[in-house]
Amino acid sequence: MNLWMRQIASVLRLEMKKTFLSRRGWWVYFLALGPVALTLLHWLFEISGTRGHHSIGSDSLVFAGLFHFYYLRLGIFFGCVGIFSNLFRGEMLEKTLHYYYLTPLRRELLVGGKYLAGLATALFLFVGSTAVSFLLIGRHFGAAYTDYILHGPGLSQLGSYMLVAALACVGYGAVFLMSGIFFRNPMIPAAVVMVWENLNPFLPTVLKKISVIFYLKNLCPVEIPIRPPFNVMVIDADPTPFWIAVPGLLALSLILLVYSGLSARHTEISYGE
């Protein structure tokens, strides 16, 4: 067990350098920094004297919309595609994967080490972006926003958003790591998953639960109202309790990782693909 842990740690150190400095994934940084730039501009415009007639509650609702429609459905989703799909497929394109396969390292441990490196990168970028954006969006209210965070519901909301962002990285990371092992072009399964996730509000109750977004959405602290005519097409489903949603997502991610590790035993390298 100590040997396995040391091997995973070695893979993690190597992969962290490649993942953070990857030329293929430079656009992931823009996905993470986009909301930070928007909320920073919002703060600067408001303190410059062009403040609109809105309240902290309005900014809270705006951030909820930003989190639902950008972070969960676009930013974190495509960020995980870029980070995790390239962990194996990127090495195949660069013809470097055989260096790992020539070492006395179990392939399950290689999968685990690569996943942890990708997860650390995704958490740093998107959980950090979520926290900074939340703190910036109401900063123009000054002491009132500080009191909202420290003595009101702000701190609890921030913790919930960070937790949901982290769970999204865990879940989508496991999905797209597996797609990078099995598919020559990971964008094809990514497109299929994206369509399925975005159709979730309109699916029957049973099918809703076969989705990552269903569990993540129910963990968000502020609900976004659906306006007509789309609210007519939405099928309501009972929200999943916290004590089921979080362990359920973690268990699903673990199953996908175990399956990816076992499948990696039988993968063969063909740089001519």
Over 50: is that where the pLDDT of 204 sits? yes
Sorted by sequence, the CB contacts under 8 Å of residue 273 that are 6+ apart come out as 92, 184
Confidence tier at 93 by pLDDT (50, 70, 90): confident
Over 90: is that where the pLDDT of 131 sits? yes
Q: To the nearest whole percent, how much of the chain has pLDDT over 90? A: 36
Over 70: is that where the pLDDT of 50 sits? no
For residue 98, the one-letter residue type is H
pLDDT, average across residues 34-54: 80
Q: Tell me: the pLDDT tens digits for 1-17?
A: 688 888 888 888 888 87
Distances in Å between the Cα of 18 and the Cα atoms of 112, 124, 243 are: 16, 15, 36
pLDDT of residue 183: 81
Domain locations in the chain?
2-264
- How much is the mean pLDDT over the chain? 84
pLDDT of residue 234: 46
What whole-number distance in Å separates Cα of residue 222 and Cα of residue 209? 20
pLDDT of residue 257: 92
Confidence tier at 232 by pLDDT (50, 70, 90): very low
Confidence tier at 243 by pLDDT (50, 70, 90): confident
Q: Which of the given ranges, 76-90, 122-136, 199-213, 223-237, has the highest pLDDT on average?
A: 122-136
pLDDT of residue 227: 56
8 A C-beta contact, residue 200 and residue 107: no
Over 50: is that where the pLDDT of 233 sits? no
What whole-number distance in Å separates Cα of residue 186 and Cα of residue 106? 24
Q: Tell me: the pLDDT tens digits for 149-199?
A: 999 899 999 999 999 999 999 999 999 999 888 887 878 888 888 888 887
pLDDT of residue 153: 92
Residue that has been written with the tokens 């997860």 in this structure = 119
Q: Of 64-78, 94-108, 195-209, which gets the smallest average pLDDT?
A: 195-209
Indicate the DSSP class of residue 203. Answer: S
Over 60: is that where the pLDDT of 52 sits? no
pLDDT of residue 10: 87
